[in-house]
Amino acid sequence: MELKVNSTTFRKLAFAVPSFLLGIWAFQTVNAVSGPYFEPILEACGNPDKNIPIEEFAQKTGYHEYEPKVGFKVFNLLVCLITQFLYELNQTHPQGVIVWGGVVLVSLPVALSCTYEAGRNGSRGPIRYPVLMGLLYQLFGVSVMYPLLWVPSYIFGRAAVDSPQAGLHSNLRIYYSAVAIIPVVALTLVVFWADPESYLWTVSAGILGGPGVPLVGLILYTDASASLVVSKERIEETSRRIQSIYGWMTGVSVIGWAYLVKIAVDAYADGYGYVSVSAAFEHLWRDIWTDANASVAFMTIDTGVFYLGLFIFVAYQCEAKAFKMLALTPILGPGGAGCWVLKELEADVCQKRLDVLALSGSGDTAKKEA
C-alpha cells in the first residue's frame, strides 16, 4: 500500500518534528546538567519529617526558607525548589540576571502569541489552554515544554489563516496580553535586586517560579471572543490593537536588552580592563556555560532552546520572517526581534482574512457589538 503525504502535511512534519526533538534534547540536557544539584534539594523540600515547622526549614536543611502559602499546598515542592534555584541565581552575579533576563525577553513575544492563539476560533489542542501550558512550563521548564508540546500543537492545531472568525479577539484578551507580563518583570526585579534574606524576596521568588503567575490566566475563561460578530471593521480593529501591543512590547524588550548588554559590558569589558570583544565573550561564555553552576547552566539552556523554539514557530509561518528575526536579534534582542516580526505576521494574516471576507461577499455584515 502506497503512503501518500501531501505537501501541507509534509510541511507540518518538517517543522513539528525538529521542534519536538529539540524539546527532548533540552529535557535530557537539563537533567544531565542540573540533576545532581537538584536531587538533594528535592529530598530536602520533600520534607520527610513532617514535624519540622517551616520556620525551621532553613536551619534544619541549610537551604533558603520558602513560603508554602504561594504554592497552594499542591505546588509546595515546586515553590521550595524554585526558591533555592532563584537564590543561587541571585548569588551568581551578573551571570544569574543575564541568563534569567534572556528567558524573560524571549517570553515576551511567546506570551503574546500564546495568548492570542489560544483565543482564535478554530484552534484546537493544547494551545487552547494557556494556563495548563504555563503550569507545565513551571514544572518542566520552558525550554522543554515550549518546543516539545506547544509549537507542534500550534502547527497541527492552529486556526486557519484565512478564517475571518479567527481574526477576532475581545478587549479582555488583548488587554490581558498587554499587562500579563508586568508581574513577571516586577517579580524579576525584586528577586535580583531586593535583599534575599527579606520576606519580600522569599514571597516574590515563590510566586515567580510557582503556580501563581500562570493561574492569573484563568480570567481568560470569561473571554467572549467566540461570540463576536465578524465584520471588516472588527477584524481590522482587532489586528490593529494586537499589532499595537506587539509594537509596544518591542520597545519594552529593547530596553530590557540594552540593560542586559550594559550589565554584561560592565562586567566583561570594563571589568576586565577593556579587553577585546572576543575575549569578553569568551569570559561570558565560560561563566554562563563552561564553568557555570547548575542554575546558571540550566537557564543558559532555557534561553537558547526557548529562542530556537520561537524561531521554529515563526519559520513555520514564514521562513523569511524567521531569518529577519535572526538578523534583528543582535540589535533588538531576542524579545524585540520576536515582537517585531510577529507584528508583521499579524498584519499579513489580517490582510488574508480581509481578502477572504471580501470574496465571501460578507464584508459588510452586521456590526452589532457582542
The pLDDT of residue 370: 31
The pLDDT of residue 274: 57
232-268 per-position pLDDT tens digit: 999 999 999 999 999 999 999 999 999 999 999 888 8
Contact predicate 295/88, CB 8 Å: yes
Q: Where are the alpha helices (DSSP H) in 219-293?
A: 232-265, 277-285
* CA atoms of 38 and 43, how far apart (whole Å): 9
The pLDDT of residue 368: 35
C-alpha cell at position 127: 494551545
Q: Is the torsion defined by CA of 31, 84, 90, 130 positive or negative?
A: positive
Amino acid at 130: P
The pLDDT of residue 5: 53
Q: What is the mean pLDDT of the chain?
A: 90
In this prediction the pTM is 0.92
47-69 per-position pLDDT tens digit: 655 556 777 888 888 899 999 99
270-315 per-position pLDDT tens digit: 655 556 777 888 889 999 999 999 999 999 999 999 999 999 999 9
Of the ranges 233-237, 271-275, 348-352, 362-366, which one carries the lowest mean pLDDT score? Answer: 362-366
71-98 per-position pLDDT tens digit: 988 899 999 999 999 999 999 999 999 9
SS3 assignment for 189-220: HHHHHCCCCCHHHHHHHHHHHCCHHHHHHHHH
130-159 per-position pLDDT tens digit: 999 999 999 999 999 999 999 999 999 999
Percent of the chain surpassing pLDDT 90: 77
The pLDDT of residue 340: 98
Contacts 24+ apart (CB under 8 A), 355-364: 355/162, 356/162, 356/163, 356/164, 357/164, 357/230, 357/232, 357/235, 358/232, 360/164, 362/164, 362/230, 363/231, 363/232, 364/231, 364/232
Residue 321 clears pLDDT 70, i.e. is over it:
yes
Contact predicate 93/125, CB 8 Å: no
Residue 8 clears pLDDT 60, i.e. is over it:
yes
153-206 per-position pLDDT tens digit: 999 999 999 999 999 999 999 999 999 999 999 999 999 999 999 999 999 999
The pLDDT of residue 3: 46
The pLDDT of residue 54: 74
Q: Which of 159, 161, 155, 158 minimizes the C-alpha distance to 18?
A: 155
The pLDDT of residue 365: 43
Q: How confident is the model at residue 1 (pLDDT cuts 50, 70, 90)?
A: very low
